[in-house]
Structure 1
Amino acid sequence: MDMRNEEQDILEQYVSSLRELDLKFDRLAAVQRLAADDLVSLHQKTQNIRRLLGTAARGSN
């Protein structure tokens, strides 16, 4: 019976570790989504700045 309890403990630890890993992957996915959103925003701002600089350069001629 003691061996059975030990096996049960090992299985519970394994399941707990899998749940923790699942939560970490969820957090990582959320961070990746935020980073992707930031990258898109940065790209849009860069494009706007380039457009404004182009307009300013044409206007100064």
Structure 2
Amino acid sequence: MVGFIQLLLWLFYFLKKMYHVNIMLIIFNNLTILTKVIFFLFILWFFYNLFDFYKSELKQEKKKSN
């Protein structure tokens, strides 16, 4: 999953350098406020789950080492 996120970030960086545009401005320019709020909440939920998964994996690895 982290590799996929890194790939997306690299793609956005490449497009920004290639076309000299702000990718997030293009993405959000034509969206309604409700869609922006839903997208923001989705991003928060995604990172919360990613962090929670990482914490649970660390706990399991700690139990295995003991």
TM interval, shorter chain, is 0.5 to 0.7
Residue 35 (str. 1) matches residue 49 (str. 2): yes
Query: How many residues align structurally?
Result: 37
State the TM-score, normalized to the length of structure 1: 0.56
Runs of at least 5 residues in structure 1 that lack an aligned partner in the other structure: 1-14, 53-61
| Aligned-residue offset at 1:36 | 0.3
Compare CA radii of gyration and give the structure with the larger one: 1
Runs of at least 5 residues in structure 2 that lack an aligned partner in the other structure: 1-29
| Deviations 1:19-40, CA, capped at 9 Å, x for gaps | 1001000000000010000000
Residue 26 (str. 1) matches residue 26 (str. 2): no
State the TM-score, normalized to the length of structure 2: 0.52
Deviation >4 Å, runs of 4+ = none
Q: CA RMSD in A?
A: 1.7
Q: Which is helix-richer, 1 or 2? A: 1
